[in-house]
Each structure stands twice: as C-alpha cells, then as structure tokens.
Structure 1
C-alpha cells in the first residue's frame, strides 16, 4: 500500500477520532446491543439491527483509520525547506487572473481536506496544478467550469 501524506494536524485529528471510536462509541454500541438482546426475539428487533449496523460501521472506520495511520507519512510544514516552491503542506496565496479574486489554501492529505477551512486535497486539480510553482508563476487549473489561471502571490510553510 502506498504511503499516505498527512500534516501533523491531520494525523492528530485522525488519532483523536480513533481514540473516540475505541473509548466512547464502541462501548456505547456494545451496551446498546446487550440491551436489545435483553428484549428477547432478535428476528423482529429493530434496535438490535440498528446497533449491529452501527457496530459494523464503527469497526470498519477503526480499521480504516488504523490502516491509514500505519501507512502515513506525517509531514510538518514548518520544517519544510522548499525554497519558496509549492509542496505538500504549503499554504499558497493566489489570485484568479480572470476574476481578480484572491484565495489562500493549504495543500493537505485527502482526509484533511475542507475547502471551507482553506484546506485542499493534494489530489485536487488545483493542488496538482500548484505543486512545483513559485511566487509569480501562473498555474493552469482544469476546473469543471473550464480552464482557470491562478497567479501564485505567496508561498508559506506554516
């Protein structure tokens, strides 16, 4: 399995979710299953079915997170020395040349992406177009609405 890039914040967020799943959610669903069993006939017990389904989801998510963490390459953007080049973890301030609007995004792992928080996935068309660029370069992004051009205004490693 390939390595999965994560920022330090993204790895911490996954660790917290894993901890919550194991210490809070898993015990709750086990308790719900035992309570549903106590009600008798399991063939027509909706609470039992719902609890078993939730248990399956929780166990699947635990395995998924553990797999990602075991293959994670954790990168601290503050320790990156890319000499002004856009790389994973970099925060990029850029201007849409056509619209004149300015946006700022940090390039993060797929699990961390949240466009509303200014976090874009390394797999996104925008991030792929920005990787390797320097301040003053123009990135051509093939977006659903057509080709967009962005000028890189600033690259930070924060």
Structure 2
C-alpha cells in the first residue's frame, strides 16, 4: 500500500479522534451493551441491538483511523521550501476572474479533506489543477457548472 501524504495538523486531529473513540466511546458502548443485557431477552431488545450496531461502527472507524495513520506520510509543511510554487500543504489564495470572488484553500491529504474548512484533497481535480502553478499564474478549471477562470493571488506554507 502506498504511503498517503498528510499534514501534521491533520494527523494530530485524527489521533485525537482515535484517542476519543478508544478512551471515551468504546467504554460507553460496552457499558450500554452490559446494561441492555441486564434487561433480559436479547432477541427483542432494541437497546442491545442499537448498542451492538454502534459498537460495529465505532470499531470500524477505529480500524480505519489506525490503518490510515500507520500508512500516513506526515509532512511538516512549515519546513517545505517550495517558495511561491504550489505543492502539497500549500495554502492558496484565489480570485475568480469572472466574479471577483476571493477564496482560500489548503491542499491536504485525502482523509483530512473538509470543504467546509476549505481543506481540499490533494487527489481532487481542483487540487491537481493547482499543483505546480505559481503565485501570479492564471488558470482555467472545468467545474461541473462550467468553466471557471482563477488567478492565484497568494501561496504560503503555514500549518
């Protein structure tokens, strides 16, 4: 399996989630299963089945996080010396040349991507269009709702 790039901040966030699942959620679910078992007949015990289902989801997420972190290639983006060239970990300021709207995105690993926080996956088409470009460049991106033209107004490497 290939090593997946991940920022230090993203790895820390996933480790915190893993720790919470193991130290808080897992014991809470075990307690809920024990309480549901105490109620008797397990065939018609909705609380028991709900707790077992939650246990399955939680254990699945724990396995997913442990696997992702074991294969992660954690990159300290503050030590990158790419200058004004866009590579993994870059925070990029863009201006839509048509509407004038300005947006900022950071290019991160697949598991840490969250569009609401303006974190885009390095494997996304938009990030792929950005990688290798420099501050001051303009580029055209074929979005689902049509062609968009952007100018790269800033590139920085801070976590």
TM-score band, normalised by the shorter chain?
over 0.9
Partner of 1:104: 104
Q: Normalized against structure 2, the TM-score is what?
A: 0.95
User: 2:35 aligns to what?
Assistant: 35
Worse-superposed segment, 147-156 or 19-28: 147-156
Per-residue CA distance 1:38-89 (angstroms, 9 max, x = gap): 1110000000000000000010000000000010011111111113210110
Residue 123 of structure 2 aligns to a residue whose secondary structure is coil
Equivalent residue, structure 2, for 1:52: 52
What CA distance in whole angstroms lies between the structure 2 residues aligned with 1:39 and 1:119? 46
**Helix, strand or coil at the partner of 1:111:** helix
User: CA contact under 8 A between 1:90 and 1:157: conserved in structure 2?
Assistant: yes
1:123 offset after TM fit, Å? Answer: 2.1
Q: What is the aligned length?
A: 158
1:80-115: per-residue Cα shift (whole Å, max 9, x none)? 111321011001111111111111111111222222
* Alpha-carbon RMSD: 1.0
Contiguous gaps of at least 5 residues in structure 1 = none
Q: Residue 86 of structure 1 aligns with which residue?
A: 86
Distance in 2, Cα, partners of 1:19 & 1:56: 17
Structure 2 residue runs of 5 or longer lacking an equivalent are none
Question: What is the correspondence of 1:6-155 to structure 2 with a 5 Å cutoff?
Answer: 6-155=6-155
